Chains A and B, each alone.
Chain A
Amino acid sequence: MSNKFKRLTSIRDLKLMADVIREDIIISLREAKSGHSAGPLGMADILTALYFNILKHNPKKPNDKNRDRFILSNGHTCPVLYATMANAGYFKKSELLTLRKLGSRLQGHPHRAALPGIETTSGPLGCGLSQAAGMALVFKREKTKQKVFSIVSDGEQNEGNHWEAVLFAAKEKLSNIIAITDRNYIQIDGNTEDVMPLDSLKKKYLAFNWNVIEINGNNMQQLISTLKKARNNKDKPLMIIAKTLPGKGVSFMEGDYRWHGKPPNKDEAQAALNDLHKKECLERGDWYHLHQKLKPIHKKIKRSKK
C-alpha cells in the first residue's frame, strides 16, 4: 500500500516534526488539565519516525487491511499518539484540544472504538505485546507482509503478562514483531531500578531468544536507520531498547519522574513552549549519564516529600 500523506525523508524535517508534536503534546495536556507529560515528550521522536517514515499506513483509510499495525501498549502516553496522528492527518489538529473531555474521541487512555486508527484499547499495562503477537501470528501463518510495531514502556515490564508474551513471540518465532521499549528509567513511584530493577534488559531479551538492538531513542538518525533495517528482521522477534529522556525538550521536565503523571499548569506550559521554540532540547549528551546525575536529585525530592 502507498502512504497517502507526505512522508518525511530528511532527518531535519523529521526532527522539526517531532518538536511540533511536542508542542502539541504540551498544548493538549494544558487544555486537558490532567494526563502524562514526561513519557509522551520522550517518545515523540520514536512516534515521528514511525508515522512519518517507517509505517505503511494511510490516515484516510485507517482500516486498510494491508497496513502495518502499531500497538501502543503503554496507553497512558497517548498524548504523543494523538498529536502524531493529528499531524499525520488522521483528524484535525483542533481536536487535540478535546483530550480527556466528555464526549471526546481522545479518551484519557486510547480506545479502539472511539477513534479510527487506534489499533487497540490500552492503559492497563502489560497487554500490548500479547495483542501484537496475536496479530503477528496470523500474518506469519497466512504469509502476509504486514509488520507489527509495538511500543512498551519500561515500567510496564513489571507485569507478568508482558513476559508471557515475550516467551510466546519467541516460541512462534514472530520475526514480524518489531517491539520498542521506551527505556526512560522512570515510573510513577520513581526510578525503575529502585521500584523494580529491570537491567540488564538487553540480556533478558537475549536470554528469551529475541533479537535485541540498543539505540538512543531521541536520535532521529539512529531511529530511522534502525527501524528501516528492522523491517528485514529475521528468525526471532526484535526488541529495540530505545533509551529516551523523559520530558525531552522541556528543560524542567527532562529526567524528572515527578512529571510522569501530571500536566503543566499555565505558566509551566508557557515555559515549556518557550523551551521547545528555543530548541534547547537538542543534543543534551548521553542520556544515561544525565540519568545518573539526576538520581541524587530524585532522592532529595523523595525525602522532602516525606
Chain B
Amino acid sequence: MTTKQYDLSKLKGLNKSMYLNFNQENKANRSGYGDALVTLGKRNKNVWVCCADLTDSTKVDKFAKTFPNRFVEMGVAEQNLVTVGAGLAAVGKIPFVSSYAAFCPGRCWEQIRTTICYNNQNVKVIGAHAGVSVGPDGATHQALEEIATMRSLPNMIVIVPSDYTQTKKATAAIAKFKGPAYMRFGRTSTPQFTTKQTPFQIGKANILKQGKDVALIATGALTYEALRAAAILQEQGINAMVIDNPSIKPLDKKTILKAAKKCRHIITIEEAQVTGGLGGAITEFLSETHPTKVTRIGMPDCYGESGDPQELLKHFGFTGESIARKARKLCKK
C-alpha cells in the first residue's frame, strides 16, 4: 500500500530551531535503541542488557556481541526478566530489560510496580513491537495498554520516541536519568525527520510547526503522520500546530498549556488505547488547568487484528489523511 507523499519541508510555520530534515531514509526506532546501546555500553560499564528470547528483534544483538559479559539471556520469562533487572540495579547496574511490549511490561506489571518502581530501582523497561503496526502477528502481540499501565506507577517515567534518531537520544537520556523508566516503540521502519541537532529532553515536548486553528499533539512514529495531516490541512486553509510529545510522563505542561491557549481544538495522537495514554494525560492536565476540547485519536477501547502494518494504520484511523479529516470537522464546527 502506498500513501500520498507531501513535501513536508514546504509546511508553513516549521520551527527552524528543530532542525528537521525530511530527506532521510526510513528506519526502525528499535534500531535506534540497539545502536544507542552499543555507544552507551562503551561509555558506561554499568550498562547491562537483559532480553527474553527476542535478542535480534529487539535489536540488542549488537550489544550482546560487543559486551557478552554484560548481556543476559533470560529465556521466555518476563517476570524473571524484570525482577532480575531489579537485582542488577540493586548492586549499581543500569539494566535495560527488553522484550515485546505485549509481554514486558504486559505480563509483569506487578513485578515492575513492586520491585522496580516502589523499590525505586534504576531499571529501564523497554517495550518493543508496540501498537497495531506490529501487523500480521495480530492483536495478541499489539501492545496498546502499557502507556496507561506504566504511567500510573509512581517513580516511573514514560518515553515514546518518534523516530530513529530520537530513539537514540532517548536511550541515552533514560540511561542518564536515575530511576525507573519505560520506553516503547513499534516494529516497522518509519520516516526519520529529526536530526542530530533536534533537541530532546525528558519532560519536554517540541513544537515542530506553529499553527493556530488546531493543535496536533502526537507521540511515537505517528508524529510523522501528524505532520502529514498538517500538510493536508494546509491545502485546505487550516493552520495546524504540530507538537512532538515523546515524554508522556513527565508531561511538558508548559508547552501543552501554550497550545491550548493558542488553538481552539486539541487532537492527541497515539498508537495506543485512548484511555490513560497520551490523550489521557493531556485531558487530565487540561481539565484541571485550562478546560479545552480534546479529541483523542488512538484505539477506541478495542483490540487490533492481523494485517499489513500500513493497512492497519489506515483501518484504525492513524494516517495523516484520517487525522486531517477529524481536524477539519472540528475546525468547521
> Given A112-B119, A134-B85, A161-B83, are A120 and B110 neighbors across the interface (CB < 8 Å)?
no
Residues A168 and B84 in contact, CB atoms below 8 Å apart: yes
In the complex the two chains form, is A124's CB within 8 Å of B114's CB? yes
Known: A120-B119, A131-B87. A138 touches B93 (CB 8 A): yes
Write out, one digit per residue, whether chain A residues 92-116 have a CB within 8 A of any chain B CB (1) or not (0): 0000000000000000000111000
Kindly state whether residue B80 has any CB partner on chain A within 8 Å: yes
Residue from B72, B110, B115, B118 with most neighbouring chain A CB atoms (10 Å): B115
- B223 interface residue per 8 A CB criterion: no
Distance between Cα atoms of A121 and B180 in the complex (Å): 15
Contact in complex: A133, B87 (CB < 8 Å) = yes
In the complex, residue of chain A having the shortest beta-carbon distance to the beta carbon of B111: A127
The CA-CA distance from A168 to B83 in the complex, in Å, is 12
Cβ of A59 under 8 Å from chain B: no
Contact with B along A113-150 (1 / 0, CB 8 A): 10000011111101100111111111101000000000
Please measure, in the bound complex, the distance between the C-alpha atom of A218 and the C-alpha atom of B91, giving whole angstroms. Answer: 31
- Give the residue name and chain of the B residue nearest to A127 (CB): B83
Tell yes or no: A167 within 8 A of B by CB: yes
Per DSSP, are chain B's interface residues mostly helix, strand or loop, or mixed? helix
A127-B74 in contact (CB<8A): no
B37 CB to closest chain A CB, in angstroms?
Answer: 18
Chain B residue nearest to A112 (CB atoms) is B119
Say how far A70's CB is from chain B's closest CB, in angstroms.
12
Q: Are B115 and A121 in contact (CB under 8 A)?
A: yes
Q: What string of 1s and 0s marks CB contacts (under 8 Å) between B137-178 and chain A?
A: 000000000000000000000000000000000000000000
Whether A168 and B75, one on each chain, are in contact in the complex, defined by CB atoms closer than 8 angstroms, is yes
* B79 lies within 8 A of A167 (CB): no
Residue of B nearest to A131 (CB): B87
Q: B120–A160 contact, CB under 8 A?
A: no
- Interface contact A135-B90, CB-CB below 8 Å: yes
- Residues A217-251 near B (CB distance < 8 A): none
A61 to B88 alpha-carbon distance, docked (Å): 21
| Interface mask (B70-83 → A, CB under 8 Å = 1, otherwise 0) | 10101101011001
Partner of A161 from B75, B85, B87, B111 at Cβ < 8 Å: B111
A161-B114 contact, Cβ under 8 Å, with A113-B119, A131-B90, A137-B88: no
- The interface on chain B, measured as residues whose beta carbon lies within 8 A of the other chain's beta carbons, has a size of 27
Among the listed A111, A126, A139, which residue makes an inter-chain contact with B91, where contact means beta carbons less than 8 Å apart? A139
* B contact residues around A193 at 8 Å (CB): none
Q: Closest approach, in angstroms, between the C-beta of B90 and any C-beta of chain A?
A: 6
Nearest A residue to B93, CB-CB: A138
Give how many A-B residue pairs fall within 8 Å (CB-CB): 95
Q: What 0/1 pattern do residues 85 to 103 of B give for CB contact below 8 A with A?
A: 1111111110100000000
**Minimum C-beta distance from B84 to chain A (A):** 4
The smallest beta-carbon distance between B129 and chain A, in angstroms, is: 21
Q: Which of A264-289 contact B (CB under 8 A)?
A: none
Residue in chain A with minimal CB distance to B76: A164
Contact B86 A134 (CB under 8 A): yes
Closest chain A residue to B74, Cβ basis: A168
Of residues 153 through 211 on chain A, the ones whose CB sits less than 8 Å from some CB of chain B are: 160-161, 164-165, 167-168, 171
Q: Using Cβ atoms and an 8 Å threshold, which residues of chain A touch B84? A: 130-131, 133-134, 137, 165, 168
Question: What are the residues of chain A within 8 A of B88 when measuring CB–CB?
Answer: 134-135, 137-138
A113-B119, A124-B110 given; A130·B83 CB < 8 A = yes
Given A130-B87, A135-B90, A139-B91: A161 and B80 interface contact (C-beta under 8 Å): yes
User: Which B residue sits closest to A144, measured CB to CB?
Assistant: B91
| Closest-CB distance, B58 to chain A (whole angstroms) | 18
Q: What chain B residues lie within 8 Å of A168 (beta carbons)? A: 74-75, 77, 80, 84
Chain A residue numbers with a CB within 8 Å of B70 are: 141
Question: Does the CB pair B120–A113 fall under 8 Å?
Answer: yes
Contact A164 B79 (CB under 8 A): yes
- Residues of chain A within 8 A (CB-CB) of B3 are none
Cβ of B69 under 8 Å from chain A: yes
Is A120 within 8 A of B115, CB to CB?
yes
Q: Check if B83 sits within 8 Å of A131, measured CB to CB.
A: yes
| Inter-subunit contact A167/B77 (CB<8 Å) | yes
B80 near A119: Cβ-Cβ < 8 Å: no
Instruction: List the B residue with the shortest CB-CB distance to A148.
Output: B87
| A134 touches which of B69, B75, B87 (Cβ 8 Å) | B87
Cα–Cα distance between A124 and B86 once the two chains are bound (Å):
14
Min CB gap B54→A, angstroms:
16
* Chain B nearest CB, measured from A116 CB (Å): 14
A130–B80 touching, CB < 8 Å: yes
Distance in Å from the Cβ of B48 to the closest Cβ of chain A?
Answer: 8
Of A119, A127, A161, the most chain B CB neighbours within 10 A belong to: A127
B79 touches A131 (CB 8 A): no
User: In the complex, what distance in Å separates the CA atom of A214 from the CA atom of B81?
Assistant: 29
Complexed CA–CA distance, A113 and B87 (Å):
15
Contact A165–B119 (Cβ < 8 Å)? no
What is the CB-to-nearest-CB distance from A174 to chain B, in angstroms, rounded to a whole number? 11
Say whether B90 contacts A164, CB under 8 Å.
no
Min CB gap A57→B, angstroms:
15
Bound CA span A124–B114, Å: 8
Report how far A130 CA is from B95 CA in the complex, Å. Answer: 14
A123 to B111, CA, bound (A): 11
Name the residue of chain A whose CB is nearest to the CB of B50: A134
Other than the given A121-B118, A134-B88, A160-B79, 6 more pairs (CB < 8 A) read A112-B120, A127-B86, A130-B79, A130-B83, A141-B69, A168-B80
Q: List 13 A-B contacts (CB under 8 A).
A: A113-B118, A113-B120, A124-B110, A127-B111, A130-B79, A131-B83, A132-B87, A133-B80, A137-B72, A138-B91, A165-B83, A165-B84, A168-B77
Query: Which 7 pairs, one residue from A and one from B, show the smallest C-beta to C-beta distance?
Result: A134-B87, A130-B83, A164-B80, A131-B87, A164-B77, A161-B79, A134-B84
Residues of A within 8 A of B (CB): 69, 111-113, 119-124, 126-127, 130-139, 141, 160-161, 164-165, 167-168, 171
